[in-house]
Amino acid sequence: MTRSNIQLYSLATPNGQKVSIALEEMDIPYDAHLINIMEDDQFSDEYIKISPNSKIPAIIDLKGPDGEPLTIMESGAILIYLAEKSGKFLSDNPRIRNETLQWLFFQVAHVGPMFGQFGHFYRYAKESCDHPYPLERYSKEAKRLLTVLDKRLDGRTFLVNDEYSIADIATFPWVGCLDQFYEAGEFLGLDEFKHVQQWHERCASRPAAIRGAKVCAIE
């Protein structure tokens, strides 16, 4: 059986969904391989060769820029690589490209880590940590970041130049995660962030996003 050039190793978490959605949006053929982090697949010797930090997602481009296989870890780096490979969702205009990368790194450095820590202490660590400080800290930061996004999206269709980009692809699965996975919509007052909610619906309802969100899901 002929394999696609792009081999995806992932799980349908927000970080994993970023790359599968991008692949679907960019219409790049790929083969998907489930890495079940609940069963410690990410710590196997085989997977560590692909992703030394034992995180998902990761890809292998069997025909990289020099014709040889190229392995890439870190979802932000993967999104940039795929955007450059496909010529989609990352503008050639230097100003717009720079702005897109700023908002991509805003997600990588802030939205993902802070929302993830919030979800951990809100949903999963209640029995092991009864001190209020961690939840208070990460709740406050999650709301602050949502406020930043809401102000940014006021009067905008998407995060940059009113054009759908890898910055949107990187960010909206994490916003959806707050309610869908962490069940914290009411706790965080997500309905108060109306621009974020409207933007999330625009992104999440795209056919490629619907397809990509299901890739490497555990039934």
- Are the beta carbons of 81 and 6 closer than 8 angstroms? no
Question: How confident is the model at residue 202, as a pLDDT?
Answer: 98
Q: Which helix (H) or strand (E) holds 106?
A: helix 94-106
Which amino acid belongs to residue 1?
M
- Are the beta carbons of 90 and 166 closer than 8 angstroms? yes
The proportion of the chain whose per-residue pLDDT surpasses 90, expressed as a percent, equals: 93
**Taking each helix axis from N to C terminus, what angle separates 166-180 and 112-119, rounded to the nearest 10 degrees?**
10
User: Do the first three CATH levels of 6-89+208-213 and 94-206 match, i.e. the same topology?
Assistant: no
Measured between alpha carbons, how far is 39 from 111 in angstroms, rounded to an integer? 26
- Are the beta carbons of 9 and 205 closer than 8 angstroms? no
Q: What's the fold here for domain 6-89+208-213?
A: Glutaredoxin (3.40.30)
Per-residue pLDDT band at 191 (split at 50, 70, 90): very high
Question: How confident is the model at residue 130, as a pLDDT?
Answer: 81
Domain ranges of the chain: 6-89+208-213, 94-206
Q: What's the fold here for domain 94-206?
A: Glutathione S-transferase Yfyf (Class Pi); Chain A, domain 2 (1.20.1050)
**Residue 25 in tokens:** 């949006």
Contacts of 96 (CB under 8 A, 6+ apart): 160, 161, 163
CA distance to 21, 79, 82, 98, 137, per residue, from 101 (Å) = 18, 10, 14, 5, 27
pLDDT digits (tens, 9 = 90+) for 20-46: 999 999 999 999 999 999 999 999 999
